[in-house]
Amino acid sequence: MLLKDKIAVVYGAGGKIGGAAARAFAREGAKVYLAGRTFDKVEAVAREIEQEGGTAEAAEVDALDLDAVEHHLEQAAGRSGRIDISFNAIGIRGDLQGTPLLEMAYEDFTLPVLTGVQTHFLTATAAARYMVRQRSGVILTLSTSASVLSGRDRRYHLTGGFSTACLAIEGFTRSLAGEIGSQGVRVVCLRSDAIPETWGDPHAPARTYMTDGTALGRLPTLREVADAAVLTASDRASAITGAIVNITCGSVMD
């Protein structure tokens, strides 16, 4: 087991990506503290983990609220003695894409940016304070290929403020990694392309366009993103920090 006896906190654990990562962490031996704004969804993931023999605790936590984040971490660290992994997988309003910037409301442009920057800053720095004291730990942030789309793709997707938010998260990842790396803490960003399993409807034309633009001829799956999170959080990746892990099936090559 890659994460045996590790203590992991997952924000947005009631969502598709957060839930998949939480299950994968638990399968690999971690005790998982699940946090999300909708308790019923988070609790359902915790039950699934426990039914599979894992260990999980669910809590209602607003990852945009500093007091809520710190209180939850204090409880988790109090019960388990440490925080080894923090992964923020909350959604940052990708649904606000699709409108040209010249026609977009200011609020719709800034909301993804403010949400992404705020939640990652709050959860990452709160976890980092515990990890710096114990001189070990891994913080995972989440971005998407929207941060580095080509001009052709940006024209097609009309990414609005979502691409700016993803780019800001990646920049924050590098900055934090540089500050706390010497104290034994790694910070890594996972950059995925669109995951069809998270779509509410087939999006057939968009899926064809996006799939045709990947080197592998397909888009990533939830399981692949979760497995990348496991590997990156594990000691097998102990030399990796300040990096953007490319989980795009080759839609982006860097």
The average confidence (pLDDT) of the chain is 95
**Rounded Cα–Cα distance for residues 157 and 205 (Å):** 12
Q: Are 233 and 168 in contact (CB under 8 A)?
A: no
Residue 57's pLDDT is what? 98
36: amino acid identity, one letter = G
Residue boundaries of the structural domains of the chain: 7-247
For the stretch 38-92, pLDDT in tens is 999 999 999 999 999 999 999 999 999 999 999 999 999 999 999 999 999 999 9
pLDDT tens digit sequence for 123-144: 999 999 999 999 999 999 999 9
Task: Give residue 202's pLDDT.
Answer: 57
Contact 23, 34 (CB under 8 A): no
Per-residue exposure over 71-104, b if at least 16 CB sit within 10 Å of its own CB, e if not: ebbeebbeebeebbbbbbbbbbbbebbeeeeeeb
pLDDT for residue 154: 83
The CATH number fitting domain 7-247, selected from 3.40.50.720, 1.20.140.10, 3.40.50.11540, 3.10.180.10: 3.40.50.720
Closest by CA to 129, choosing from 165, 77, 174, is 77
pTM of the model: 0.96
Asked if the model's pLDDT at residue 149 lies above 60, the reply is yes
